[in-house]
Structure 1
Amino acid sequence: MTRQILILTAASGSALLLAGAYLFQFLGYLPCQMCLWQRWPHMAAIAIGVLAFTLPLRVWAWLGALATAITSGIGVFHTGVERDWWEGPSSCSGSGGSSLTGDLLSTDGPRLIMCDQVSWELFSLSMASWNALFSALLCILWIMAARRA
C-alpha cells in the first residue's frame, strides 16, 4: 500500500468511527463525558488526514498516529471504568460526585450519563472497548504511513 492510501484508510476509519458514534447517539444511546473525550482525537485525525494530502509531510502521519493512540488510550481507560478495574472521573461515575445538585427527581434539564455504565455492547465489548480496539488498528496504519518513504 502506498503512503497516501494508508493515510486515506486511517483518516476514513476515524471518520467511520465518529459517524458510528453519532449514529448511536441519534438512535438514543446518549454519550457520557468520556465518550465525548474519545471523539476529539478522531476529529483531529480526520483533519490531519486532510492536511497530509495538501502538505505531504511525514510529520502528519505521526500526528495521526498520536491522535488515534490517544483515543485508543481513552477507550482503554473508559473500558476499565466500566468494568470496575479502576475509578473514573467523579463527575460521571459512581454517585456522580458533587456535580449532581438540585432535585434529582426533576425531569428538567440535561440527563447525566454515567461513564461507569455500559449502554451497549457486542460480544461482551462496550462501545469504548470497540473504539479502543479499532483506534489501535488505525494507529498502526498511521505508523505504517509515517514509515513509508
Structure 2
Amino acid sequence: MTASVQPRPKHPQAHTLHLGEARVLASRLRLLALAALAISAACLAGAFAFQYLGGLQPCPLCIAQRWAHAAVILAALAALLRPGVATLGFTAIAGLNALVQAIRHVGIEQHWWATECTGLTGAADQAPGDLFAQIMAASLVRCDEIAWQMAGISMAGWNGIVSAGIVALGAWGAWQARSLRRLRSPVWPA
C-alpha cells in the first residue's frame, strides 16, 4: 500500500473558493465599492449644497478636495463593475489622496504650515502693475480661515475623517479580494 503525498499549498490558509462562495464575496466587494462611492458622492453633494444653497464659497484647497472625491467616485465605479484587488486598491489610493488633501487643508487652517493661497508672495520684488494683477487674481476665500465648523471640527477636518473611512473600505475590500485570485472558475458576470 503506497501513500500518496499531497502538495502543500503556498499559503497555509490558501484554499480554492467554490463558485457560490466567489459570487457571495464579489457581492460583498461590490457593496464596499458602493459604500465608498456613496460616501464620496455625499461629500460632493454636501460641498455643493454649502456653496450654492448656503453661500459658502470654496477656497482653492476645497476645490482640490472635490477633485479627490471625484477620483474616488471613478475608482469606486470601476470596483463596482469589476471588484478586485486592483480596483478596490485604486479606490483606497484615491481615498488616501482625499485624506492627504484634507490633512493639508486642516494644517493650513490651524496655521501648522503656510500655503500659497494665504496671501501675496514676493510683493516687494514686483512692479506696481504686476502686484495689482496678483491682487486681482488672488482668491477671495482664504485657505487659512475656518469658514464652517461643527463640534469644533472644520469642514476639512470632517472631510479627513470621512476620507479615512473610504481608505479603510477600499483597503479592506482589496484585502478581501485576494481570495478571488485563487478562484479557478470565473464569476463574471455575477
What is the TM-score with the length of structure 2 in the denominator? 0.68
CA contact (8 A) 1:64 1:139 kept: yes
2:111 aligns to what?
A: 84
8 Å Cα contact 2:57-2:141 kept in structure 1: yes
How many percent of aligned residue pairs carry the same amino acid? 31
Q: Structure 2 CA distance, aligned partners of 1:16 and 1:41?
A: 13
Partner of 2:149: 121
SS of residue in 1 equivalent to 2:132: coil
How far, CA to CA, are the matches of 2:131 and 2:69 in structure 1? 29
Flag structure 2 segments of 5+ consecutive residues without an equivalent: 1-24, 124-129, 180-190
Q: Does 1:20 align with 2:46?
A: yes
Aligned residues, how many? 143
Out of 87, 92, 95, the position equivalent to 1:65 is 92
Residue 34 of structure 1 corresponds to which residue in structure 2? 61
2:15 — aligned with what?
A: none
Alignment match, 1:96: 120
- For residues 175 and 113 of structure 2, what CA distance do their matches in structure 1 show? 35
Higher-Rg structure is: 2
Whether the 8 Å contact between 1:96 and 1:114 is mirrored in structure 2 is: no
2:47 match: secondary structure: helix
**Residue aligning to 1:133:** 161
**Runs of 4+ residues over 4 Å off in structure 1:** none
1:7 aligned residue: 33
Residue in 1 that maps onto 2:188: none
Query: How many angstroms apart in 1 are the aligned matches of 2:77 and 2:139?
Result: 35
Q: C-alpha separation between the residues in 2 aligned to 1:96 and 1:130?
A: 28
Residue type of the alignment partner of 2:86: V
How far off is 1:74 after superposition?
1.0
Which residue of 2 is the match for residue 54 of structure 1?
81
- Please give the root-mean-square deviation of Cα atoms over the aligned residues, in Å: 2.3
Alignment gaps of 5+ in structure 1: none
Letter in 2 for 1:120: W
CA-CA distance at 1:72 after TM superposition: 0.7
Deviation at 1:110, TM superposition (A): 8.6
State the TM-score, normalized to the length of structure 1: 0.86
- Describe the shift of the 1:46–1:118 C-alpha distance in structure 2 as closer, same or farther (beyond 3 A): same
1:63/1:24 CA distance change after superposition, 3 Å: same
